[in-house]
Amino acid sequence: MSPTPDNVLVFGGAGAVGRNAAISASKHGAKVYLAMRDLQKPIPSLSKADEEKARFERVQADLSNPSSLKAAVATSKATIAFVYAITEAQDAMKSAFEALKEAGITTIILLSSFSVRPSAEEAQHYKYLPAKHAAIELQLIESGLSYVTVRPGYFNSNTLWYKDGIKSGEVKLFGTKACFDFIAPEDIGAAIGKLLTTPSPHLPMNEKNGKSVHICGPRVMSVEESLGIIGSVLGKEVRVVETGEEGFWVAFAHLPKPIAESILENTKACIPPRADFSGEFWSKAAENLSAYKEGEPMGFKEWVEAHRDEFE
């Protein structure tokens, strides 16, 4: 069996998923290089002392600027990298994958979207966000790189959309009964960190030259219930008011219309009785999180307690 990769390259280290992927990979014995546009940018919840203890090194690189990638790979001497999806990339990240491959990367772990199902080939015909992620996955497949695309469900951090309403004690939103699986970004990162340190010849494969993994959080609940949990942790009452679609467009007026439409469609699809989290697909996705994280996932209440200051 091949040894654990000595060096890994992690993009998006300033985000919760990338940061925790780096921490997890380091714990599994890898030397981690953080590929960052701005080398001086502070990483939330990670002090300089923490970086030094974990033996992290920063290298300048930008996924949206393929010409910057060669030097980062050369410096890190990494053959495996974690990347996130840039949905606004006009070429669906084709040039980034080509540059990474040319520089010496042989395996990519890609953070994709749960909406890409059952396959990228089918999802490319969906509306906006699923189609954008599917197009990126298809470019990764065509690159010839070994890969794992990780497709996580509903991020716990999405509840921060309602931060202002939580502060005021009243949240107005469309889809109060919409149900989601609520997954901690920290757990997604932990699972990716394990994948980064899995010897590439032994990565599980079920497609052309890689594998796609859907992962779900440990508990399905409505948005209304999640807001109740947030209120209980904060020690305050949070009233939840259903607004209808008109309220949705007010709340998400800041987003480009195609993105907002995609979020709206997804929300509608998750309102019972349309939502169904009881089938084999969903249970397998929940099992995947524990399997790749190698441990029990973080509960939603536990996550809110850890991020309490972000809601206050």
Residue 191 in any domain: the answer is: yes
Residue 113 in any domain: the answer is: yes
Domain count across the chain: 1
Strands 80-84 and 107-111: parallel
Task: Please say if the pLDDT value at position 4 is more than 70.
Answer: no
The CA radius of gyration of the chain, in Å to the nearest whole number, is 19
Average pLDDT over every residue of 237-256: 91
Model confidence pLDDT, tens digit, residues 163-176: 999 999 999 999 99
Q: What percent of the chain has pLDDT over 90?
A: 67
Residue 82: what are its φ and ψ, rounded to 5°?
-100, 130
Q: What is the model's pLDDT at position 156? A: 97
Question: What CATH number did the domain enclosing 104 receive?
Answer: 3.40.50.720
Label residue 206 by pLDDT band (50, 70, 90). Answer: low
Return the amino acid letter for 244.
G
Residue 268 in any domain: the answer is: no
Residue 171 in any domain: the answer is: no
Assess contact for 101 and 74: CB atoms under 8 A.
Answer: no
Q: What is the model's pLDDT at position 214? A: 93
Task: Please say if the pLDDT value at position 219 is more than 80.
Answer: yes
Q: What is the model's pLDDT at position 207? A: 54
pTM over 0.85: yes
Task: Write the DSSP assignment of 297-310 as a string of letters.
Answer: PPPHHHHHHHTHHH
For residue 247 the two structure tokens come to 């309220």
Model confidence pLDDT, tens digit, residues 31-71: 999 999 998 888 888 777 877 777 899 999 999 999 999 99
Domain limits at 42? 7-155+183-217+279-298
Model confidence pLDDT, tens digit, residues 8-27: 999 999 899 999 999 999 99
For residue 239 the two structure tokens come to 């009233």
Q: What is the model's pLDDT at position 199? A: 62
Residue partners of 234: CB distance under 8 A and separation at least 6: 166, 308, 311, 312
Q: What is the model's pLDDT at position 236? A: 94
First to last CA, the chain: 49
Distance of CA 154 to the CA centre of its chain: 9
Instruction: Give the Cα separation of 8 and 143 in Å (integer).
Output: 19
Residue 251 in any domain: the answer is: no
Q: What is the model's pLDDT at position 201? A: 47
Residue 139 in any domain: the answer is: yes
Sequence-distant contacts of 290-295: CB under 8 A, at least 24 apart: 292/191, 292/192, 292/194, 292/195, 292/213, 292/215, 293/187, 293/190, 293/191, 293/194, 294/190, 294/194, 295/190
Model confidence pLDDT, tens digit, residues 71-110: 999 999 999 999 999 999 999 999 999 999 999 999 999 9
Residue 254 in any domain: the answer is: no
Instruction: Give the Cα separation of 70 and 57 in Å (integer).
Output: 16
Average pLDDT over every residue of 224-248: 95
Distance of CA 256 to the CA centre of its chain: 21
Instruction: Give the Cα separation of 222 and 58 in Å (integer).
Output: 40
How high does pLDDT run on average in the chain? Answer: 90
For residue 92 the two structure tokens come to 């669906």
Residue 104 in any domain: the answer is: yes
Return the amino acid letter for 121.
E
Average pLDDT over every residue of 116-125: 86
- Can you point out the beta strands (E) in 164-209? 170-173, 179-180
Q: Which residue has the tokens 């298809």?
A: 138
